[in-house]
Amino acid sequence: MAHPTLDHQLLNNYQRDFPLAPRPYARIADDLGIDETEVLERLAHLRLTGVISRIGAVIRPSTIGASTLAAMRVPEHRMEEVAAVVSACPEVNHNYEREHDINLWFVVTAADEQQLTGVLGQIEAETDIPVISLPLATSFHIDLGFDLK
């Protein structure tokens, strides 16, 4: 099922300017000279194999809903368990381990402050570890696209 050139094009060419159309994957398929089903199958395979974790818009914080950067002090022997709890929340975009006393960091987005607080509380309840919420004070534009060439 591997198709390195096609996979590379899917990953590299649509990080920015993803088609805003009723059938964006059909438009991508037309661009690549394949059919929509193959695009969807390739992306599903890339997700299944862990190459990508999601496809979705990146929206400036506080434009829609509520969000925060959050962090936890997780004992090393519990890192995988706690990271799995955090990752299981659909409101969590991603999480990552850092070399620091505060060692698990993640971003939470929710429909509103009430839901955001609920997600943070749920994580605390399930892990029995306090969550530090670090809401945005100053925004910076970071281009999250990377040329894979």
How much of the chain exceeds pLDDT 90, in percent?
Answer: 67
Question: Is 78 in the same domain as 129?
Answer: yes
Question: Is 70 in the same domain as 42?
Answer: no
Read out DSSP for 74-122? --GGGHHHHHHHHHTSTTEEEEEE-SSSS-EEEEEEESSHHHHHHHHHH
For the chain, how many structural domains are there in total?
A: 2
Q: Provide the domain limits for residue 27.
A: 4-48
- Which residues contact residue 78 at a Cβ distance below 8 angstroms, ignoring those fewer than 6 apart? 127, 129
- In a domain, residue 60? The reply is no
Residue 56 has pLDDT above 90, yes or no: no
The whole-number average pLDDT for the span 46-65 is 81
| Helix (H) or strand (E) segment spanning residue 126 | helix 113-127
Residue 17's DSSP bridge partners are none
Residue type, 92: V
Residue type, 33: G
pLDDT digits (tens, 9 = 90+) for 80-114: 999 999 999 999 988 999 999 999 999 999 999 99
| Helix (H) or strand (E) segment spanning residue 65 | none
| Helix (H) or strand (E) segment spanning residue 11 | helix 4-13
Q: What is the CATH number of the domain that holds 102?
A: 3.30.70.3460
CA distance 148 to 146: 6
pLDDT digits (tens, 9 = 90+) for 18-28: 899 999 999 99
